[in-house]
Structure 1
Amino acid sequence: MITVFSIFFSVLFCFLVFFLIYKGKLKEQYAILWIVLSGVMIFFSFFRDSIGFLADFFEVHYAPSLLFILAFVILLLILIQMSVVVSLLKENIKTLTQEIGLLKKELSKKKDGE
């Protein structure tokens, strides 16, 4: 029963990502990460024994804890990516604000000169 439940929500998550891309709410550059994540979720839903195999490979004694570690690492990577994007956007906003200020100043000089 848990396999059917996890497959259902993994596929639902994948469709949600594609729906958000279709509606234009999620840009393609960010969607790749979510598509890969949903693919991993679907893979682990179909092949639940692979979690045990990975746990044995990494010498983790309790297999579900490996899932939490992987989820934590993935979330950290997403946070780093979003922090980089926010930093770039902040710099772009600063540059645009300065350019608008210069354009307003130039426009007011032209109005005063006329």
Structure 2
Amino acid sequence: MVRIQLLTIVVNILFLVYIFRLIIKGKLREEYAIVWLICTFFIMIFSFWRRGLDVIAHFLGVFEAPNLVFTGAIFAIFIYLLHLSVVASKLQNNIRKLSQEIAHLKLAIENKDKT
């Protein structure tokens, strides 16, 4: 194996350990960890299979393998950003509903104190 392959494999293993550590400590939710695990998995595959990216690029009709990496990365970023936008929208709706419920409860308590 080439030195860069060994370095990539070691870094991937350390990154996986770090991801699992964050999950166990409760600092990273499983639904977000999946993205990191999948990315690390793909990097690990290509760390062992050196010609893999060229084979896949040729199969998909991409002339240069690095273009496939950039296209895939941009596509993955767009999907992840869409997911985060959906999550943020859902959280914003939940916060609005909770704020309204708190206001109703506060009003009910104030009305009860007046009587």
Tell me the TM-score normalized by structure 1.
0.92
> Which residue of structure 2 aligns with residue 30 of structure 1?
32
RMSD: 1.2
Residue identity opposite 2:74 in structure 1: F
Once the two structures are superposed, the pairs formed by residues 4-43 of structure 1 within 5 Å of their partners are: 4-43=6-45
Unmatched 5+ stretches in structure 2: none
What displacement does 1:79 show? 0.8
Once the two structures are superposed, the pairs formed by residues 1-114 of structure 1 within 5 Å of their partners are: 1-113=3-115
Native 8 Å contact 1:10 1:38 kept in 2: yes
Distance 2:21 2:11 in 1: 15
Instruction: Please give the per-residue CA displacement for 1:40-65, whole angstroms capped at 9, x wherever unaligned.
Output: 11111111211000110111111112
Native 8 Å contact 1:21 1:27 kept in 2: yes
Distance 2:108 2:85 in 1: 35
Unmatched 5+ stretches in structure 1: none
Residue identity opposite 2:97 in structure 1: T
Equivalent residue pairs, number: 113
Q: Tell me the percent identity.
A: 38
